[in-house]
Amino acid sequence: MPKESNRRKSSSGLSGTGVINEGSRLERRAAGKSSPIYDELIQKADQISATSGAPTLMDAPRVPQVTITPEGGGSSREMQQEDWDEAVDGTLRRKLSNSSISSTGSSAVESEDDLLSDNESKSKGIITLEHLVDTGESRPWWKLKTIVHWPFSATQRRKLSWVQLAGHKGNFKAADEGTILKKFSENEMQCFDKLREDALLPFVPGYHGVVEKDGESFLHMTDLLANFDLPNVMDCKMGVRTYLEEELVRARERPKPREDLYKKMVEVDSGGPTPQEHSQRAITKPRYMQWRETMSSTNTLGFRIEGIKKHDGTCRTDFKKTRSKQDVVQVFKDFVDGNMNIIKSYLNRLSEIQQALKMSEFFKRHEVIGSSLLFIHDHTNNAQVWIIDFGKTTALPEGQTLHHDIPWQEGNREDGYLWGLENLIHTLESVGNEGTEGDI
């Protein structure tokens, strides 16, 4: 992204950086970034607004500013009361404790903004998955909450070499053969419970219940890598937005400037922070997340590549500036080593997922944020795609549903998931077309 435009966005704090509104549309056009798909999306949203009486994009409120002060502590902000009233409706004011959960499972009150993390805490590839410690005693360690099969047999207690392309280190443990444990999140557990009866069930990891040990809880799920031989794995984070609306609200109420996020931003783009952010060497999490979205393809394509591990053991997670469709096409080509059969299989699977999403009651009634599609294939041409990570997937109030393919404006909770999936399919079709002209 041109630095000038990035600075302009940065200097207005949160304003407009993640919102698809008239202002950003003009900016994109000026920067030559407008695409037919984008314009189609805008038109669709305008039509929906016209028929539903919802505000048009022209009317969409901009995201009010959150300014962090050099004094630090994040106690001061430049938000006006009228901004608050305009942007924060009843939906956003709902009780945070019910639904605001970070993908690592902590509640809103104590979550992301408060718990600092840095690059060192993020997993970026091949890891050694530990089993929980076996004390060797015969007393039952595991307090069963739902269905589990414990304890592990001694032979299954070996360390497991595994691939974790995103998320926080230590979030996963080894379990019975073919299964893993993920750090408990109430939110994710509720999603898995609801998905048991949903059209999406064939596309999410098998869920085997909650287990607890020494006060720590885990979700027991199928290891999607288990049936592959030296798998190639790619994590694509879906949607036009990667943070919950209530995270914005919280950042306005209680801004928490974070030094680790400032450092991560500077590492990628030293011109990213505003002069004020440079002077206090800290930025808020929504500010960082919105910057990440504009630097990568999240805002422009509705998905982004988080990481790749290839069969030869090489891992890449340096995709923060992979933004254009052409760049993404190149990454996919390399990921499949030019194998167009794999691309075909992936396209078939994506199309099945698309159909299932359109049928899914769960999908209709949830804001799907931060969820990924996990692509896995190996030399046998086995290629699959799975929907993972429901840590930030949040139920809408009773009776409310989402389109998933219209622009987000604060308050409508749209996530752009279906729009991103459509773009992802077009992108893979382009890979196919470039690989073997007309073969796909």
Ligand X SMILES: O=P(O)(O)O[C@@H]1[C@H](O)[C@H](O)[C@@H](OP(=O)(O)O)[C@H](OP(=O)(O)O)[C@H]1O
Ligand Y SMILES: Nc1ncnc2c1ncn2[C@@H]1O[C@H](COP(=O)(O)OP(=O)(O)OP(=O)(O)O)[C@@H](O)[C@H]1O
For ligand X, the binding residues (CB under 6 A) are: 102-104, 112, 117, 122, 242, 264, 285, 289, 292, 370
Q: How far apart are CA 58 and CA 74, in angstroms?
A: 31
Q: Which does 285 bind (CB under 5 to 8 A by kind): ligand Y, ligand X, none?
A: ligand X
Closer to ligand X at the Cβ: 231 or 239?
A: 239
Closer to ligand Y at the Cβ: 113 or 277?
A: 113
Interaction between residue 165 and ligand Y (CB under 6 A): yes
Interaction between residue 179 and ligand Y (CB under 6 A): no
Q: How far is the CB of 371 from ligand Y (least distance, A)?
A: 8
**Chain-centre distance for alpha carbon 406:** 18
Interaction between residue 224 and ligand Y (CB under 6 A): yes
Among 112, 113, 176, 235, binds ligand Y (CB under 6 A): 235
Closer to ligand X at the Cβ: 67 or 242?
A: 242
Interaction between residue 293 and ligand Y (CB under 6 A): no
Closer to ligand X at the Cβ: 49 or 317?
A: 317
Closer to ligand Y at the Cβ: 144 or 226?
A: 226
Q: Which does 374 bind (CB under 5 to 8 A by kind): ligand X, ligand Y, none?
A: ligand Y
**Cβ neighbour number for residue 295 with a 10 Å cutoff:** 21
Judge residue 114's burial from the number of C-beta atoms within 10 Å of its C-beta, 0-12 exposed, 13-18 middle, 19 or more buried: middle
Q: Which does 264 bind (CB under 5 to 8 A by kind): ligand Y, ligand X, none?
A: ligand X
| Binding span for ligand Y by CB under 6 A among 215-223, 264-272, 322-330, 345-353 | 215-223
Q: Which does 372 bind (CB under 5 to 8 A by kind): ligand Y, ligand X, none?
A: ligand Y
Q: How far apart are CA 302 and CA 280, in angstroms?
A: 32
| Binding span for ligand Y by CB under 6 A among 43-51, 89-97, 153-161, 384-392 | 384-392
Amino acid letter for position 183: K
Q: How far is the CB of 385 from ligand Y (least distance, A)?
A: 12
Q: How far apart are CA 23 and CA 97, in angstroms?
A: 33
Closer to ligand Y at the Cβ: 236 or 350?
A: 236
Is-contact 151 174, C-beta < 8 A? no
Closer to ligand Y at the Cβ: 9 or 183?
A: 183
Q: What are phi and psi for residue 188, nearest 5 degrees?
A: -65, -35
Cα–Cα distances in angstroms (integers) from residue 268 to residues 113, 116, 248, in the given order: 21, 19, 23
Q: How far is the CB of 272 from ligand Y (least distance, A)?
A: 21
| Binding span for ligand Y by CB under 6 A among 51-59, 191-199, 383-391, 420-428 | 383-391
Convert residues 404-423 into a mask of x (bound to ligand Y by CB under 6 A) and - (unbound): --------------------
Residue partners of 270: CB distance under 8 A and separation at least 6:
none
Q: What is the DSSP string of 210-251?
A: EEEETTEEEEEEE-TTTT-SS-EEEEEEESS--S-HHHHHHH
Q: How far apart are CA 258 and CA 263, in angstroms?
A: 9
**Cβ neighbour number for residue 264 with a 10 Å cutoff:** 20
Q: How far is the CB of 275 from ligand X (least distance, A)?
A: 22
HSE (side-chain half, CA atoms, 13 Å) at 26: 5
Q: In the numeric block, which tokens belong to residue 88?
A: 């924060």
Reduce the DSSP state of residue 283 to 3 states and report it: strand
Closer to ligand X at the Cβ: 285 or 309?
A: 285
- Residues 90-109 binding ligand Y (CB under 6 A) are 103-104
Q: How far is the CB of 221 from ligand Y (least distance, A)?
A: 5
The site that binds ligand Y (CB under 6 A) totals a number of residues, namely 24
Closer to ligand Y at the Cβ: 27 or 198?
A: 198
Q: Which residue is nearest to ligand X (CB)?
A: 112
Interaction between residue 370 and ligand Y (CB under 6 A): yes
Q: Which does 239 bind (CB under 5 to 8 A by kind): ligand Y, ligand X, none?
A: none
Interaction between residue 223 and ligand Y (CB under 6 A): yes
Is-contact 427 419, C-beta < 8 A? no
Q: In the numeric block, which tokens belong to residue 434?
A: 């470039």
Buried (b) or exposed (e) across 366-405, using 16+ Cβ within 10 A?
bbbbbbbbbbbbbeeeebbbbbbbbbbbbbeeeeeebbbb
Is-contact 180 223, C-beta < 8 A? yes
Residue partners of 136: CB distance under 8 A and separation at least 6:
none
Among 15, 21, 49, 164, binds ligand Y (CB under 6 A): 164
Is-contact 307 316, C-beta < 8 A? yes
Judge residue 209's burial from the number of C-beta atoms within 10 Å of its C-beta, 0-12 exposed, 13-18 middle, 19 or more buried: middle
Q: What are phi and psi for residue 291, nearest 5 degrees?
A: -65, -45
Interaction between residue 342 and ligand Y (CB under 6 A): no
Interaction between residue 112 and ligand Y (CB under 6 A): no
Q: Rule CB under 6 A: which residues touch ligand Y?
A: 103-104, 163-168, 171, 180, 205, 221-225, 233, 235, 370, 372, 374, 388-389, 391
